[in-house]
Amino acid sequence: MTAPTPPWNTSRPVVVLTGASSGIGLATATELAALGYALVLAARREDQLGALARRLDPSGHRVIAVPTDVTSPDSRRALIAAAHAHFGRIDVLINNAGVTVERGWWWDDPDPLRVLRVNLDAPIELIRLVLPEMRGRGSGHIVNIGSVAGQAATNGLYSASKFGIRGFSLGLRRELLGSGVNVSLVSPGFVKSEMTARARLPMPGPDIVARAVASVLLRPRREVLVPRVYHLFAWLDRRLPALGDRLVRRLIVRRYDHSGQ
Ligand SMILES: NC(=O)c1ccc[n+]([C@@H]2O[C@H](COP(=O)([O-])OP(=O)(O)OC[C@H]3O[C@@H](n4cnc5c(N)ncnc54)[C@H](OP(=O)(O)O)[C@@H]3O)[C@@H](O)[C@H]2O)c1
């Protein structure tokens, strides 16, 4: 029997997920594939992405890998075009790809604004590409992965990007109320991933965030902090910022390997 030609006629929600090659994105891809979603996985590392797609769906129909650099306009357009070519529509966009300052302080990084390009510009540009379709259809869901660092500031540039995506998400949600397009923000605290490999803190695995993402897909939420203990941290930082200064400095800033310090 010959395979049907794309777009695959699927009744399952079609999810585009950026940053799927490791950490939270990989855990989310695994969780959503197990729940039966159709997935378009995006990240730069082609080998990891391809291997993940094959592991999640050996048939290659329901999960596809599209090597993507979210900072490149051409690559973003190619990602959305590939999703349409294969599935015919996009129901959910999950903006998860993210970076932080590599090593040391951001002012010593030769290209610190990369953090804003990946964590803030790229999600906004990807949303711009999917919004006409979602608004036209009167249905869709944007899920942005923020951070507790978007509520309580840690590293200046990383927090700039995460305060930015938080404000954008909350505002966009209001702009789209009544349109049928939902916007949810999932803000993780520290979880184990390549990004936090050098942080000397107790952390849960990324599955806890993947489950939070799966849950907002069923019930859209303004913002979800995960693990829940970070509500306390965010609350303390708002109410007692001087205590926040001491906690962040002692627990986070000093526990990163700031080479050259
Ligand atoms: N881990 C935490 O404690 C934590 C806490 C709060 C928020 N977050 C947020 O969670 C998200 C995922 O981070 P993570 O912890 O899972 O880190 P991670 O393991 O380092 O994963 C980051 C992902 O982003 C992708 N990525 C980076 N630059 C990209 C680009 N230019 N184009 C396309 N993909 C790109 C990476 O793939 P390639 O390298 O293959 O491109 C990778 O798949 C980020 O938004 C991060 O800010 C993480």
Using CA positions, which residue lies closest to atom 7 of ligand 1?
147
Residue 23 alpha carbon to ligand 1 centre in Å = 7
Angle 138-140-141 from CA coordinates, rounded to 5°: 145
Q: Please give the distance, rounded to the nearest whole angstrom, from the Cα atom of residue 18 to the centre of ligand 1.
A: 8
**Percent of the chain predicted with pLDDT > 90:** 83
Tell which CATH classification among 3.40.50.720, 3.30.200.20, 3.40.50.300, 3.40.1000.10 matches the domain 14-255: 3.40.50.720
pLDDT: is 246 or 215 the higher one? Answer: 215
Q: Where are the domains of the chain?
A: 14-255
The protein residue whose alpha carbon is closest to atom 47 in ligand 1 is 98
DSSP, collapsed to helix, strand or coil, labels residue 140 as strand
Calculate how far, in angstroms, residue 167's C-alpha sits from the geometric centre of ligand 1.
20
For residue range 67-79, what is the model confidence (pLDDT) as tens digits? 999 999 999 999 9
Grade residue 253 by pLDDT with cuts at 50, 70 and 90.
Answer: low
What is the C-alpha to C-alpha distance for residues 16 and 39, in angstroms, rounded to an integer? 6
**pTM, entire model:** 0.95
Mind telling me the catalytic residues? 158
pLDDT tens digits, residue range 74-107? 999 999 999 999 999 999 999 999 999 877 889 9
Name all residues whose Cβ lies below 6 A of ligand 1.
Answer: 18-25, 43-45, 68-71, 96-99, 118-119, 145, 147, 188, 190-191, 193-196, 206
pLDDT digits (tens, 9 = 90+) for 6-40: 666 778 999 999 999 999 999 999 999 999 999 99
Alpha helices in 35-150 (DSSP H): 46-56, 73-87, 114-116, 122-137
Predicted local confidence at residue 49, as pLDDT:
98
